[in-house]
């Protein structure tokens, strides 16, 4: 699929694996962390104006609302660039969200798009049948100027998910299990195609989660075929025309994995790699200090709904902090209308404005030395959420909510 999309963006019928190409992009994305460097390079090459004010998207989301003077200056620099360039799709406090949840919600992404962003989790949009990936800030600078970017055409690994999903299992469990199976470099610079009857039953929210974490296996793209669920999602959000690309029936894959979902339990990735996937039930002795439910990986309405179902009528452990972060303003509003925010507050959680915040150790939940967190975010590297002596355990919303009640890593069956 990714190979076909890349060929289409070169105006060609076919591109070969390993070939170096220049391709036209549909969206160039930047945020408050990585875009300032891109803007500096953009100015150095004398670009002047962006190639298309509708196709450059700017979302300050990592350190916003501004946490200190340095982040305020960073965001001001980005804001002034967006205004001077007359960027149409600029989203900040009040109408913002975490970028990889916001763009699909706003209908800015459709199947067949080629999208780059100066953020590694730009691969999220593969859930919509798009080829999307993270690149460096200098590549973003050139793409903002020319509308083009270079690629080496990747080989593809296919993942076929069979069987039935157990209770509480979501896309987060499937992708953690998969990364545990192949390792953090198991799909290095490869396109990961997700397919199979179990995957077809997943919600769009779960599919976004899986595509989002393709990069944690080294993947260049993490992509799903477009189906009725995809088209229903798009019908309510986007008015753009699009073209659906599907892999040929005789397509050659570098490798094919057949995964039986009957065998997949709720997963937790232990420090300090996303590939350290274990069954959550095996880790019940691990006490924790903080729970975070949010991020571009798991801050969507499905995640909040699952957390609310588990937390309703219960209190979080007095020994920890629980932070809930809806990924966008619209998700926040929907959670408010559905009563989830009231459930969270009554249970002892705090609810934040949309922000990446604690995911990268930015703000709104930085860990101290020796502290442990269960988090629905995407990375648990050393020092990822704060002090190098802290620990992050990655999970889906069900394990995170249950752990908040138990004060240790737990499954929903233990607390309901």
Q: Hey, which bits of 128-254 come out as E strands?
A: 131-134, 148-152, 156-162, 191-195, 221-224
What span, in angstroms and rounded, lies between the C-alpha atoms of 20 and 197? 34
| pLDDT more than 70, % of the chain | 100
Per-residue pLDDT reduced to its tens digit, 216-250: 999 999 999 999 999 999 999 988 999 999 999 99
- Please say if the pLDDT value at position 183 is more than 90: yes
Determine the pLDDT at residue 148: 96
Q: Is the pLDDT of residue 94 over 90?
A: no
Question: What's the confidence (pLDDT) of residue 142?
Answer: 96
CA–CA dist 295, 100 (Å, integer): 9
* Mean pLDDT, rounded, for 21-32: 96
The structure tokens 């459930």 sit at 343
Q: What is the DSSP letter of 332?
A: H
Sorting pLDDT into bands at 50, 70 and 90, what band is 64? confident
The H or E element spanning position 4 is helix 2-8
- pLDDT of residue 93 exceeding 90, the answer is no
Say how many CA atoms lie within 13 Å of 56 toward its Cβ: 28
pLDDT, tens only, 302-319: 999 999 999 999 999 998
Exposure string of 275-284, with b = 16+ CB inside 10 Å and e = fewer, is: bbbbebeebe
Strand 321-324 with 267-269, pairing: unpaired
Report pLDDT digits (tens) over 144-177: 999 999 999 999 999 999 999 999 999 999 999 9
Domain with CATH 3.30.499.10 in the chain: 2-259, 266-415
Give the fold, CATH level 3, of 2-259. Answer: Aconitase; domain 3 (3.30.499)
**178: phi > 0 → left, psi -120 to 50 → alpha, else beta; which?**
alpha
Q: Which CATH entry fits the domain spanning 266-415: 3.40.50.1980, 3.30.499.10, 3.20.20.190, 3.40.1190.10?
A: 3.30.499.10
Is there a contact between 69 and 42 (Cβ–Cβ < 8 Å)? Answer: no
Question: Going by DSSP bridges, is the β-strand pair 290-293/372-375 parallel, antiparallel, or unpaired?
Answer: parallel
Neighbouring-strand partners of residue 321: 290
- Residue 401 confidence class, pLDDT cut points 50, 70, 90: very high
- Per the prediction, the chain carries an average pLDDT of 96
pLDDT for 198 equals 95
Q: Tell me the DSSP string of 27-57.
A: EEEEETTTHHHHHHHHHHTT--S-S-TTTEE
Paired sense of beta strands 20-24 and 148-152, if any: antiparallel
Confidence (pLDDT) at 203: 96
- Provide the pLDDT confidence category of residue 281 given band limits of 50, 70 and 90: very high
Q: What is the pTM of this model?
A: 0.95
Please state the φ and ψ torsions of residue 21, each to the nearest 5 degrees: -130, 160
State the Cα angle at 249 between 198 and 229, rounded to 5°.
40
Taken as a whole, the chain contains a residue count of 416
Q: Which pLDDT tens digit goes with each residue over 97-150?
A: 999 999 999 999 999 999 999 999 999 999 999 999 999 999 999 999 999 999
CA dihedral 265, 226, 87, 299 (to 10 degrees): -20
Question: What does the alpha-carbon distance between residue 25 and residue 149 come to, in Å, rounded to a whole number?
Answer: 7
């Amino acid at each position: 699929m990714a190979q076909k999309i890349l060929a289409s963006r070169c105006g060609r019928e076919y591109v070969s694996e390993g070939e170096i190409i220049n391709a036209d992009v549909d969206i160039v994305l930047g945020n408050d962390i990585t875009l300032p460097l891109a803007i500096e390079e953009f100015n150095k090459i004398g670009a002047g104006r962006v190639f298309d004010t509708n196709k450059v998207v700017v979302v300050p989301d990592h350190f916003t609302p501004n946490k200190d003077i340095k982040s305020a200056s960073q965001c001001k620099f980005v804001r002034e660039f967006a205004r001077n360039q007359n960027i149409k799709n600029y989203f900040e406090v009040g109408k913002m969200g975490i970028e990889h949840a916001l763009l699909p919600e706003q209908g800015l992404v459709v199947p067949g798009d080629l999208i780059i962003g100066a953020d590694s989790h730009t691969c999220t949009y593969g859930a919509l049948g798009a080829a999307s990936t993270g690149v460096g800030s200098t590549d973003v600078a050139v793409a903002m100027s020319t509308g083009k970017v270079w690629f080496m055409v990747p080989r593809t690994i296919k993942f076929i998910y069979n069987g039935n999903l157990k209770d509480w299992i979501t896309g987060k469990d499937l992708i953690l299990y998969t990364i545990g199976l192949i390792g953090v470099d198991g799909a290095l610079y490869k396109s990961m195609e997700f397919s199979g009857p179990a995957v077809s039953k997943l919600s769009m929210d779960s599919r976004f989660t899986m595509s989002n974490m393709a990069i944690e296996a080294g993947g260049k793209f993490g992509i799903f075929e477009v189906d009725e669920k995809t088209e229903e999602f798009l019908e309510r959000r986007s008015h753009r025309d699009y073209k659906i690309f599907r892999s040929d029936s005789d397509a050659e894959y570098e490798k094919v994995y057949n995964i039986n979902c009957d065998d997949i339990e709720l997963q937790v990735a232990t420090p300090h790699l996303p590939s350290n996937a274990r069954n959550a039930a095996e880790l019940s002795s691990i006490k924790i200090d903080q729970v975070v439910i949010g991020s571009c990986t798991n801050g969507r309405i499905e995640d909040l709904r699952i957390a609310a179902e588990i937390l309703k009528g219960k209190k979080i452990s007095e020994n920890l902090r629980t932070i809930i972060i809806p990924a966008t303003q619209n998700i926040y509003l929907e959670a408010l209308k559905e009563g989830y925010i009231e459930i969270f507050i009554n249970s002892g959680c705090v609810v934040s404005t949309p922000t990446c915040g604690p995911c990268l150790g930015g703000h709104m939940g930085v860990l101290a030395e020796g502290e442990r967190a269960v988090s629905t975010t995407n990375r648990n590297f050393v020092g990822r959420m704060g002090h190098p002596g802290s620990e992050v355990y990655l999970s889906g919303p069900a394990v995170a909510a249950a752990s908040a009640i138990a004060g240790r890593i737990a499954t929903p069956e233990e607390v309901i």
